[in-house]
Chains A and B, each alone.
Chain A
Amino acid sequence: MSEGCGRAMVAVRGLSKGYGRGASILEGVTLDVARGDFVSLIGPSGCGKSTLLKLVAGLVPPTSGAVEVDGMTPANARQLMSFIFQEATLLPWRTVLGNVELGLELEQSVDRGRRRAVAEELLGLVGLGDVGGHYPRQLSGGMRMRVSIARALATRPGLLLMDEPFGALDEMTRDRLNEEMLRLREEQGWTALFVTHSVAEAVFLSTRVVVLRAKPGRVHREIPVPFGFPRRASLRSAPGFLSLVGEVSSALRGLDGNGVEGGAG
């Protein structure tokens, strides 16, 4: 990539990860995520997509290879990143507002009043402006995930790492949150690395879908998604969308069973 384009937001080079002796989870993964990209990672279970996300976050060390986030090591780039987990992972003893403030509070970069203002603004953005004083247990699963998203965005991340954030939600809630993620991305311009099990979700959200294979985890195919932004809900029924979903699905299907050769099963 030339200097003129700016360096990649995430640069993964020959990354391998194994636990103990024996089978490695990831082997020789190379991947670039350009600034403003929305890249989805999809693959059979055991392909190491969540591990890849944790490696980029610097939460686990690689066995070999390197990760750079905005030209820095992951550990030095944490200010730039936010992580959204599969569960909302809220602090139950804090109100919704208190939870959204957490990141800013830990970073100690802004004062109390500003923190509160940012948290209220973000809650408004995810459509929860009126439940700031509630406790997480009073909210539905979808609302908790919105709180989690607001918390992640409160620190103004340049890179959002998401590990199946909508996997536990019902389909209607998931679709609505997908649309809201795209709207928030338009407004805030972050880059995203997104792990999912849902092909339709991956295609709907992404600029590029990366299909991983398992045992060991490697990049199988990268499929660019040509649709422009903003995307509307109606895109989901467009013929182009459906044929792309079909393409990703068939790429995945080749990885089922023994996980190497297409059509072997």
Chain B
Amino acid sequence: MRRFLTGAAWPLGVLALVVAGWQAATVWLAIPPYILPGPARVMGAGMERHENLLLAVRTSAVAAAGGFGVAVVCGVLAAVVLAQSPLVRRCLVPYTILLQTVPVVAVAPLILMWFGSGLRSVVLVVAIVCLFPIIANTTQGLVSVDRNLLDLFRMSNATRLQVLVRLRLPHALPALFTGLRISSGLSVIGAFTGEWFASSNTVGQGGLGYSIIYANSQLQTDYLFALVLACAALGSSFFLAVVGCEWLMLHRWHESALPRETE
């Protein structure tokens, strides 16, 4: 715990310096607050409108978490299908790459058109953004099992299901978590993008994406900054939650979770 605290002291020190420099710059250079509000002003705006802010955060968090959950379930299922044979992979992998290469900004208006504006569409946009890293990493994990272990299971007359459940899935877990780490950050970006296009236009119910557009159009730059910071905080906490789950599930056996030897 003490090591954690001393470890956290350095980045926190950097943060304090940046905030102080920012505040000083806005005061000394007399920058108008609608161009660059100082940190004190941003804090003030956030406090003042904290109800709206929290509502926006909650709306986006629900959409991001929902889409992330959908992506985990669909991604792992897709990976299990892809892991069945090289032929299946050859047939389908090119199309999973589409998920990665078609810009979500281009797809989001379509989804809005098909599924209406609201949570459902945002969740779908998030799921599309999160899907590819999960599919790609999990598939890699499922198929990269040691040949000798596969032979061992064959020698025990293991069924295909036993090989999947007792060998391939546990072996793919570290790779799955690599995918989840990437997707956790993407999920908030996906929610933001989805809300940008799909949200209802009632201020405060539109999530962070809508609120930021609105704040921008009203030149409420201080509130806009507060929203951007909330966005970053939301993404970071998703990421940390995934890292926490990863530690819980892997730390006992996986090399990546071994404590570094400090000599």
Contacts and interface: CB of A to CB of B under 8 A. Distances in A.
Interface of A: 54, 57, 59, 78-79, 81-83, 85-87, 89, 91-94, 102-103, 105-107, 135-137, 155
B148 A89 contact: yes
A106 B162 contact: yes
Interface of B: 146, 148-149, 151-158, 162, 166-167, 170-171, 173, 252-255, 258
A81 B152 CA distance: 11
Main secondary structure of the interface of A (DSSP, over half): mixed
Closest 5 CB pairs of A and B: A106-B156, A89-B148, A85-B148, A93-B253, A135-B253
Contacts of B258: 137
A137 B258 CA distance: 10
B146, B157, B162 pick with most chain A CB within 10 angstroms: B157
A91 B149 contact: yes
Nearest to B252: A135
B145 to A, nearest CB: 10
B152 A85 contact: yes
A155 B167 CA distance: 19
B151, B155, B162 pick with most chain A CB within 10 angstroms: B155
Given A85-B148, A106-B162, A93 B155 contact: no
Contacts of A137: 253, 255, 258
A90 to B, nearest CB: 9
Given A87-B148, A89-B148, A93-B173, A102 B156 contact: yes
Contacts of B253: 92-94, 135-137
Given A85-B152, A137-B253, A91 B167 contact: yes
Contact of B157 (A86, A106, A136): A106
Nearest to B154: A59
B155 A78 contact: yes
Contacts of B255: 137
16 contacts: A59-B151, A59-B154, A78-B154, A78-B156, A83-B152, A85-B151, A89-B148, A91-B170, A93-B171, A102-B152, A102-B166, A106-B156, A106-B157, A106-B166, A107-B157, A137-B255
Given A59-B154, A79-B157, A106-B156, A89 B149 contact: yes
B261 to A, nearest CB: 13
Contact of A81 (B155, B173, B254): B155
A162 B67 CA distance: 49
Nearest to B146: A89
A94 B258 CA distance: 16
B192 to A, nearest CB: 36
Contacts of A102: 152, 156, 166
Given A59-B154, A85-B152, A89-B148, 9 more contacts: A82-B155, A83-B151, A85-B151, A89-B146, A91-B149, A92-B253, A93-B173, A106-B153, A137-B255
Contacts of B148: 85-87, 89
A78 B154 CA distance: 9
A78 B149 contact: no
B71 to A, nearest CB: 24
A59 B155 contact: yes
Nearest to B159: A106
A83 B252 CA distance: 27
A78 B151 CA distance: 12
A83 B254 contact: no
A58 to B, nearest CB: 8
Given A135-B253, A137-B253, A57 B156 contact: no
A78 B157 contact: yes
A92 B254 CA distance: 7
Contacts of B158: 106
A258 to B, nearest CB: 32
B11 to A, nearest CB: 31
Nearest to A155: B156
A92 B258 CA distance: 13
A236 B245 CA distance: 53
A107 B156 contact: yes
Nearest to B157: A78
